[in-house]
Amino acid sequence: MASSSFPFGLLLLLLLSLQSARITGSPSYCGPIPASDKDRIEFAQNLEFLEAEFFLRGSMGKGLDSFDPQLAKDGPEPIGAQKANLDPLTFRIIQEFGYQEIGHLRAIVDAVGGIQRPLLDLSPEVFATIFNKAVGYTLNPPFDPYANSLNFLLGCYVIPYEGLVGYVGTIPSLQYYSSRRLVSGLLGVESGQDAVIRTLLYERAGEKVPPYDITVAELTNKISMLRNQLAMCGIKDEGLIVPLFLGAENLTDSNILSANAYSISYARNPQEILRTVYGSGSEYTPGGFYPQGANGEIASRFLGNRTA
Ligand SMILES: *[C@@H]1O[C@H](CO)[C@@H](O)[C@H](O)[C@H]1NC(C)=O
């Protein structure tokens, strides 16, 4: 009995694991994935590096290595980030957010060890490409996130939200209390950052983004729609002014926070995040902010069959 059921069980296990590899590896998979707590947290660290470098360099003109040279574990210097031309209020806010990201990175390293900083491309061209894709034509002059406070906040609109939805997506799958405590604490501050950025943008929702013929609200809607399209898992990202059917209780078109019909935060899995931050719509095709791909075990699963 045992001798005949063993190979059958093994076969079943093999078939199930092939099936799960096929599904989680499908180009539009939207569900949870199998991974250890460490790998999930280190996946998120990719986004924390991106935020840290964008906020620190955007506000002060110097990045993570100027504050804590250990945290990047000798990962390459980011490309193209600049000190943005910020008004005093925006400067104070972004500087604080940048410092917070250093703490987040330290928390992750202390808890699970951490990954090397991936190569990050924060050059104006990467943002300009995203914004052109979002609006569907070539903005002239090219969008420059470092030009002024409004542009920098629009650049920020692209970033902490990904961390937020990624954390909401990963928390239910975490196995240990200590991991859940860490990640829910990271989520709290991440969603606070996103809320502040969106509130500052909402104050100017009706204004045109100089020198373009498009308002702040329209641009956020278009960026959100682009991200929904890249991630391929339905509407999980909403701009600042929405049709009533996307507003809270279908009673308002203001949308300072992006959330579902229960006003609960949307969740994304790692593939959805990669499709978006790579700008390629494919977790197998790096690009955008991560020209060589993200680091860690989860991102590597999709980069494995690349030829060097
Ligand atoms: C709002 O409208 C959408 C689409 O018609 C619907 O799915 C949703 O349940 C509505 N929400 C509420 C709170 O009634």
Task: Say yes or no: CB of residue 261 within 6 Å of ligand 1.
Answer: yes
Look at residue 89 in the predicted model and tell me its pLDDT: 98
Q: Break the chain into its structural domains and give their ranges.
A: 33-233+269-301
Residue of 238, 242, 245, 255 to test ligand 1 pocket, by largest number of atoms within 8 Å of CB? 245
Q: pLDDT (tens digit, 9 = 90+) per residue, 106-162?
A: 999 999 999 999 999 999 999 999 999 999 999 999 999 999 999 999 999 988 899
For residue 111, give every residue at least 6 positions away whose Cβ sits within 8 Å of its Cβ, in sequence order, or none. Answer: 41, 178, 179, 182
Q: Quick one: which atom of ligand 1 is closest to the CA of 249?
A: 13
Residue of 242, 244, 250 to test ligand 1 pocket, by largest number of atoms within 8 Å of CB? 250
For residue 74, give every residue at least 6 positions away whose Cβ sits within 8 Å of its Cβ, in sequence order, or none. Answer: 116
At residue 305 the predicted structure's pLDDT band, cuts being 50, 70 and 90, is low
Query: Distance, CA 247 to ligand 1 centroid (Å)?
Result: 9
Task: Say yes or no: CB of residue 74 within 6 Å of ligand 1.
Answer: no
Whether the pLDDT of residue 18 is over 50: the answer is no
Q: What is the pTM of this model?
A: 0.90
Average pLDDT over residues 176-193: 98
At residue 24 the predicted structure's pLDDT band, cuts being 50, 70 and 90, is low
Query: Distance, CA 238 to ligand 1 centroid (Å)?
Result: 15
Q: pLDDT (tens digit, 9 = 90+) per residue, 227-284?
A: 999 999 999 999 999 999 999 999 999 999 999 999 999 999 999 999 999 999 999 9
